[in-house]
Structure formats: C-alpha cells, structure tokens
Structure 1
Amino acid sequence: MQALGAMRVLRHSRWMVPGRILAVFCLLLGLLLMGQARAEDVPACPPAPLQLLHLPRLAQALAEGREARILAFGSSSTQGAYASAPDRTYPARLEAALRREGLAVRVLNLGRGGEDALEMRARLEADVVAAEPDLVIWQLGVNGAIREHSLTRFRTLLRQGVARMQEAGADVVLMDSQRGPWARAHAVLRDAFDGVLAEVAQERGIQLFSRRKMMDAWAAGGTADAAVIAPDGLHHNDRGYACLAEALAAGIRAEMPVSR
C-alpha cells in the first residue's frame, strides 16, 4: 500500500520526473509488489511435526546444479479436485514453496481422479519411468479403501510400482490418506490401506509422508477438518492443498543444498 501511495504522489506531482528515474522507480516498485504478493500467497498453516525426507537422488541433482524433476503421481488429491485453480493444487504449491527456498525444481502433476493402484501401475512406464524423475511422490490407497479393493492385490501392485521406480533411479515417497468425514465412514479399511503403505515403505527403504499424521496434529492444535477439507468431505480445499505442500516442502528442503 505504501508503494502504491508513492506512485500516486509521482503521478500527480507538479514536478516532472526524468524518464530514467521513473523507469527505475517503476522497476523497483514492481519487484516490491511481486514480493508482497508472494508473501501474502503463503497460507497460515497449523503446526505439524516435521516429516524429514531423505532423498539422495534429488540432493545429487541439485548439487550438480541442474533443475530437478519431481513427479506428483496419484489420484484426485494429486490432480487437485476442489482446488479453485490449477496453481492451487498441491503439486503447483509444492514447486512454488521449494523455489521460494532457492531449490531449482520442476514439479509435474500426474494425478488422475478416480484411479487406484491398478490404473496407476498400468501407466507407470509411460507417465513416470519415461520422464526420468529424480523424485516421485506417489499418493494412493484412498480409492481402494472406499471401493473395498483387495488388500493383497494392492500390496502386490504397490511393491511392483515402487520397485520399478527405484530401478529407474528415482527417490520415492509414498503418501497416505487424509482425515475427514469419509475416513470416519471407512475407518477399518482406511487403516488397513495406510498400514500397507507404511509396510511397503519400510520394506523398500523409502519414505512415507503421512497426511494422516499431519492432519492429526492439525486437529490436536485446534484446526477442524472442515477448515482444510472441501465440502465433499473427502478432498482438500485450497488451504488444505497449500498447507500439505508447505509440510512436504519442509520435509524435502531440510537436507537439500540451497543456492540463492
């Protein structure tokens, strides 16, 4: 607001401002306003425990000075159901958060609403392996729990998918389910599918980012599910996606080389 006031003073001043000085002033003003916009765009997120993510391939890419490629692979929570715009999805927010910290990354959104392990496994080669990612964040299990899919099949497909990503040289992070009314309605299967994700992460020596743990901490701190979940009771709203991205970014950047 102060910057806009200064511009109005210049615009209505009786004195003539030299063109070069005015150009420099406008440039500085633009940078100031961009910085203010970025600062205002970062949400006020409830505190949650840091989920530290050890990602050697991603760290190596950044240490080599190249732009690292992160693939957000998953279903509707990744695609961004109920986000108000594409730049309000969690992958877009994650890229912005990491770049704000000086990390040269590109985050690609490979989410497709309605999919679970079988559909994602079918497109893994063409969509994920062929892209040669440094990191894959794989969000799944929610649809399997809702549709009462076979846990045995889910475990097999998950193991196959993670192994193939590791063969391709990528770091892999699995993401479990969110809180909300749907979770309470499918509590037993939700627990079972989340348990398989944790089990396979441990087996394969990879990382699990737990939305469940994050949102439990939010709730314990007084943030109601309705503040971060859309009216459908299942997906995140804009604030939920933004705060998910900020929590993920905190876990990623903790061990990354930063150059500003």
Structure 2
Amino acid sequence: MPARAETLPAAPAPTMSAPAQTAEALDQSLSPECRVPGSKLYTLAKLKAVKAALKEKRPVRVLSIGSSSAGLGAASSYPVKLENALESALPDVQIDVEARSLPGEVASGAGERLRTIVAEVEPDLVVWQVGTNDALARVDIDSFAEALDESVKWVMSHDIDIVLIDPVFTASLAEDDYYNRMVRTVQEVARREAVPLVHRYAAMRYLSTRSTDEAHMLGRRFRLNDLGLRCMAEHATRAITLSLLQSDPAKPEADPDRTGTATRPATGRESSDAVPRGN
C-alpha cells in the first residue's frame, strides 16, 4: 500500500472582534451561487497518482461513483459538469471521466461492486459520493465504517487516488442524530486514511441559509437538482486541484560515505507544465 498523504491542518476558527465575530471569507474561485468558506468545503491530501499522470503528460482518468454519476451522455449531468470543471482548472490536460452508478449501500456489498468497477476502468482517481444511501437505509454505522475503510484501503493499495464526498444535506434530517453520525463517520474515515474529502453536507447546509431561490440544492428523493450538481462538481474540482498543490516531503540528504554524493532535498515542485489554477 502506498504511503498515505498528510492532510492540511484544519482552517483556524474565526476570531472574535469587537463588536462582532469576523466571518470567514468565501472561496472566490467558485461561482457566486456556489461560494462557501474553505473550511466548509474540503479537507486536502496529496494525490500521488494524479500528479504522476500530470508529470507524464498523459490523460487523467477519473472514475465518478455514486447516485449522481449516471447519465454521462446528457450535457447537464454531473459527470459532464465535473469533467468540464476539471478541464477548466487544469488547462492543457485531457480529463476523461468515466461515470458509474453504485446502487445500494456500502455496508451491504456496494464496496465489492466498487472494486469490480475500479478493476475494469483502471482510473488514476476515484471520486466517490458515499454515505447517503446507507444513511437513508439506517444501516449499522460500525458496519458501514468498516466496509468504507476497507474499500478506501483497497483503492489506495492499487496506486489509485480517491476523493470522498460525504452525504447530502437536507433540512428534514438536520437534527437527526443518526444521519449526522453517518456524516461524521465518512469524515473520520477520510481523516484516518488521509484522503481528500469534499464536505458536501456542510457546504449545502451553508448555502441553504442564503436568502435566494437558488439556495435549495436538493430535488426529489435526495437527488441534487441542477444547481446542486453544478456546485458539487465545482467543490470536488476545488478539493482536487488544491490537493494537487500539496508538496511532497523533502528527501533527506544521502550519506556521502555510503553513496559518494549528496542528494539535494526535493523542492516539491512538479516538472509538469500542467499546474492547477489556484485562483
């Protein structure tokens, strides 16, 4: 299994100033209707496989998994939105998004189906919307956590990067203890396995407080509407591109007595010309 990435420290909590609390700035790289503070949007970690593809200047294969991942042929579908957002953020890079739905719950065997799909597609990156189906089915949380953890480890053991997207937010379940525990479980697995996480629940909850008609991002049967799909594509892209900017740790200098030469510490810079836009 490849060495795990280190996540960035959490964003500092807003400090109090007289007479009111200072609000955290919104991420201006996002569309106005999708803007949220960075602390409510993502947790970052290194993406070694995607970096390798960029360095080799070859197409980046992305496998999009989850209930919003069906329907690649439709121009308004989430996979198309994700592919377009990634190509915009990574200029001169060919992005190929393969979309597959994953019906059912992780705890009842969806993890096994994920492995079959990953083995077939052989992606550089898996973007996995996870937890909503399990939460609605009220599966045992410990069983879900174990299955998700095993699936993430399996993907990483095959030198494939993975980004998790936690469950959707809905006001009807905002105070539901079980549903919130499920969201926290996805976050805990992402932190434990050191993989990037898109905080979809927190982002949608933040956007739902806006006094606009577009704030409601959830359609029927816990499916995102067009705005929700567009914002999720932007949020996932932001997490991916910022994770790509995470530098590798410097290599220690070699012992001259053993090698005859000293190795210079790595700079952490990629040799590829394809650098994510950090706007």
- TM score, norm. by length of structure 2: 0.68
Does the CA contact (< 8 Å) of 1:46 and 1:223 recur in 2? no
In the TM superposition, what is the alpha-carbon distance from 1:43 to its structure 2 partner? Answer: 6.5
Q: Deviations over 1:195-241 (max 9, x none)?
A: 111111111111211101211221344356763221x2621111110
The CA RMSD over aligned residues, in Å, is 2.7
Q: Pick the aligned partner of 2:232 from 230, 240, 244.
A: 244
Higher share of residues assigned helix: 1
Q: Which residue of 2 aligns with 1:61?
A: 53
Structure 1 window deviating more from structure 2 (158-167 vs 217-226): it is 217-226
Partner of 1:203: 192
Structure 2 counterpart of 1:79, one-letter code = A
1:96 and 2:84 are equivalent in the alignment: yes
Amino acid at match of 1:198: Q
Task: Give the conservation status (yes or no) of the 8 Å contact 1:137–1:172.
Answer: yes
* Match in the other structure for 1:212: 201
**Secondary structure in 1 matching 2:236:** helix
- Displaced runs of 4+ in structure 1, greater than 6 A? none
The aligned residue for residue 69 of structure 2 is 78
Partner of 2:165: 175
Structure 1 segments unaligned to the other structure (5+ residues): 1-41
Per-residue deviation, residues 75-117 of structure 1 (Å, max 9, x unmatched): x23336xx9x733222221101111231321111112344444
> Using the alignment, how far apart are the partners of 1:163 and 1:52 within structure 2?
18
- Structure 2 stretches lacking a partner, 5+ long: 1-29, 246-273
Alpha-carbon distance, 1:67 to partner = 0.3
Measured in 2, the distance between the counterparts of 1:92 and 1:245 equals: 9
Which whole-Å CA distance do the structure 2 matches of 1:225 and 1:94 have between them? 20
Does the alignment pair 1:165 with 2:155? Answer: yes
Report the more deviating stretch, 233-242 or 43-52: 43-52
Q: Which has the larger radius of gyration?
A: 1
Confirm whether residue 194 of structure 1 aligns to residue 186 of structure 2: no
Identity of aligned residues (%): 28
Alignment coverage as a number of residue pairs: 213
Aligned pair 1:152/2:135, yes or no? Answer: no
Q: Normalised by the size of structure 1, how large is the TM-score?
A: 0.72
